[in-house]
Chains A and B, each alone.
Chain A
C-alpha cells in the first residue's frame, strides 16, 4: 500500500522528466526560458510557503535571499575572462577573480562542470540560509511580530550592499555572461527535488510541529515544542531554498543586476503563494506555473497600446498594478483559513499595541 504510493510518485517523476526532455528539444529558446522560470518560481513559491504558509511566520525577504544565492552562484561559475570583461569600472577582488572551478583531471569536463554547478548552487543556498539565520534569529528570539519588517529591510539592505560592493558584485552594472544552464532538466530536477523535500518535511514530525506553531503558538509550546528552535529551522530552510531559487534564476537568464531583486520580485512570489493556497504544496506548484506564464502573457500591458480608438503610451508597471489587483481580489474572495489566520494574527498584534 505504502510502497504503491512511492511507486506512483516515482513514475510521475520519471514521466515528467521524460516529457521535459522532449519539450526541451521542441521548444524555442524563449519558450524554454519561460518553462525554466516556472521551475524557479515553484522553488521560490514553496520556499515562501514553508515559512509563511506552513509555519505561519510572515516573511517578506525572498528577494534578498535570492540575491545572495544568485550572486554566489554567478561568482562561483563565471569564467575568469568573463569576470574581467564585466569588471571594467573597478577590478574584481583577486581572490574571487582567481577562483577556479573544479578540475579533476581524470573526469570528463562535463562531469567536473556538473559537480561544480551543484556545489555552487548548494553554496548559494547555504549562504542565504546563513543570512536568514542572521536576520531571523534575533527577531524570532523575541517575537515574530517584526519579522516582516526585518526581512523587508534586509532585502533592501542587501541590494544596497550589492550596489556598493563593486569589487565583489560589480555594483549597479550587474553581471553578464553567467554560464547558462537552459536545459529544462536542470531547473526542473531541482524543482522536483524541492517538491519532494518539502513534502517529506511536512509529512514528518518536524513539519507537523511547524503547522502546530501556525495553528496555535501557546498550545504548541505547551505541548513541548521549542518555538524559537522550530521557527529558526523553518525560516533557515526557507531562506536556503530562496537562495537556490535565486541561483537557478541567475543561470537560467544569464544576467543579473541589483534592480532584479527589488520588492516586486518578493511580491510575485507572494502572489503565487496566496493564489496557490497558504500551506498547499500542489496548489503552489500549479499557481507558480500559471502566474509565471501569465506574467509573460501580460507583458504587453507595460508596452504602448493601440486600442483602436486610442493609443496609450508605454505604461511600465501597469502589469504590477494588474497583479496587485488580482492579489487583492484573491485575498478578499478566497476562503483561505491559513492566510486569514496569518493576517488576523498580525492585525491582532498591531491592534494590541
Chain B
C-alpha cells in the first residue's frame, strides 16, 4: 500500500528524518512512535506532500507502482491518502457540518458553473455530500453539534471532527497524528475501538503516530520507532517493547 524508501528530510542543518524506510500493507494498522522531536510528524508531512523529501522516494498503490514523491498535497489526497494533524487544523470559523462537507469537495464532479446555476446533477451531488457528511458526523457523535462553529467545540470533539473530515475525502490510507493526545484513559479506550471500527467499515489502512503506549501496543500490528530522525527499531508490539534501544531512547539513556 505504501512504501517509504530511504527518506531523508533536512531543514537547513537539522536532519529531521534520516534514511527512514518503512512499508505498510493493505488493511494493516501500523504505528510510528518515538520521543518528541524524533521526526514523526515530518514523516507524515513528507508522505502528504507538505514537504518534498531531500532524499528518497514514497511509493503508493496496491502494487506500489505510483511514485508520489514530491507530488502536491491535493494530488496525494486525490489518490486516497488523507491525514489529521497533531495541532488540530480545522476550518475554525466554519460550521461542523461544512468542515466535513468540504472534505467531499475533491470528489465533486460538477463544475463551477453547474454549482452556480444549481443544475440538477450538482444538486444531486450536493445532497449526497450532505448525506455522507451527516452519516460521518453521526459516526463520530457530532451530529447534534453540526451547526456550531468548529472552534467552539471542546478539544476531544475537534479531534473527532478532524477524523470525520478526513473520512469524507474517501481515503484508502488514513494517517493519524497523535489522535489520542489530550484524552483521558476512557476516551483513549473509546478511540481505539472507534479506529478499529472505521478501519473495518471503510476498508482502511491506518498509519498512526501516538504517545500513549497502551494505545499503540493495543492496536498496531507493526510498529516503527524513530529517534533523532533515525529508525532505531521495528517489529510487532512485544518485540518493540522489549527492545533495549527503544527503552533507552524513551528513558533518555545515552
Residue ranges of A at the interface with B (Cβ–Cβ < 8 Å): 197, 200-201, 204-206, 208-209, 211-212, 215-216, 218-227, 233, 337-338
In whole Å, how far is B217's beta carbon from the nearest beta carbon of chain A?
A: 28
B118: A residues at CB distance < 8 A: 200, 204
Task: Using A200-B118, A205-B115, A208-B102 as known contacts, say yes or no to A215 and B91 having CB atoms under 8 A apart.
Answer: yes
Cβ-defined partner of A233 (8 Å) among B50, B91, B92, B112: B112
Alpha-carbon distance A270/B11, docked complex (angstroms):
39
In whole Å, how far is A114's beta carbon from the nearest beta carbon of chain B?
A: 23
Q: Please list the 9 inter-chain residue pairs (A to B) with the smallest Cβ-Cβ separation, ordered nearest first.
A: A224-B106, A224-B77, A204-B115, A215-B91, A219-B89, A221-B73, A212-B102, A226-B74, A209-B105
Q: Which B74-113 residues have C-beta < 8 A from chain A?
A: 74, 77-78, 82-83, 85, 89-94, 98, 101-106, 108, 110, 112
Contact status B105-A205, CB under 8 Å = yes
Alpha-carbon distance A212/B91, docked complex (angstroms):
6
B122: A residues at CB distance < 8 A: 204
Q: Tell me if B165 counts as interface (CB < 8 A to partner A).
A: yes
Cβ-defined partner of A206 (8 Å) among B103, B115, B129: B115
Contact status B115-A219, CB under 8 Å = no
Cβ-defined partner of A218 (8 Å) among B78, B89, B106, B125: B89
A–B Cβ pairs within 8 angstroms, 27 of them: A200-B115, A200-B118, A204-B115, A204-B122, A205-B102, A205-B108, A205-B110, A205-B115, A206-B105, A206-B112, A208-B94, A209-B102, A211-B93, A212-B102, A215-B90, A215-B92, A215-B93, A216-B89, A218-B50, A219-B89, A221-B77, A222-B73, A223-B82, A224-B74, A224-B77, A225-B74, A338-B93
Alpha-carbon distance A224/B107, docked complex (angstroms):
9
A204: B residues at CB distance < 8 A: 115-116, 118, 122, 126
In the complex, what residue of chain A is closest to B166 when comparing beta carbons?
A223
B115: A residues at CB distance < 8 A: 200-201, 204-206
In whole Å, how far is B242's beta carbon from the nearest beta carbon of chain A?
A: 36
Cβ-defined partner of B78 (8 Å) among A206, A208, A209, A224: A224
Cβ-defined partner of B165 (8 Å) among A200, A211, A223: A223
In whole Å, how far is A336's beta carbon from the nearest beta carbon of chain B?
A: 11
Q: Tell me if B169 counts as interface (CB < 8 A to partner A).
A: yes
Task: Using A218-B50, A223-B169, A225-B106 as known contacts, say yes or no to A208 and B101 having CB atoms under 8 A apart.
Answer: yes
Cβ-defined partner of B101 (8 Å) among A205, A220, A337: A205
Q: Tell me if B48 counts as interface (CB < 8 A to partner A).
A: yes
Q: Tell me if B139 counts as interface (CB < 8 A to partner A).
A: no
Q: Tell me if B138 counts as interface (CB < 8 A to partner A).
A: no
Alpha-carbon distance A51/B103, docked complex (angstroms):
22
What 0/1 pattern do residues 221 to 236 of B give for CB contact below 8 A with A? Answer: 0000000000000000
Alpha-carbon distance A39/B145, docked complex (angstroms):
38
Q: Tell me if B124 counts as interface (CB < 8 A to partner A).
A: no
In whole Å, how far is B163's beta carbon from the nearest beta carbon of chain A?
A: 13
Q: Tell me if B121 counts as interface (CB < 8 A to partner A).
A: no
What 0/1 pattern do residues 161 to 179 of B give for CB contact below 8 A with A? Answer: 0000110110000000000
In whole Å, how far is B147's beta carbon from the nearest beta carbon of chain A?
A: 15
Task: Identify which of A205, A216, A218 gathers the most chain B CB atoms within 10 Å of its CB.
Answer: A205
Alpha-carbon distance A224/B73, docked complex (angstroms):
7
Task: Identify which of B73, B82, B126 gathers the most chain A CB atoms within 10 Å of its CB.
Answer: B73
Alpha-carbon distance A227/B49, docked complex (angstroms):
13
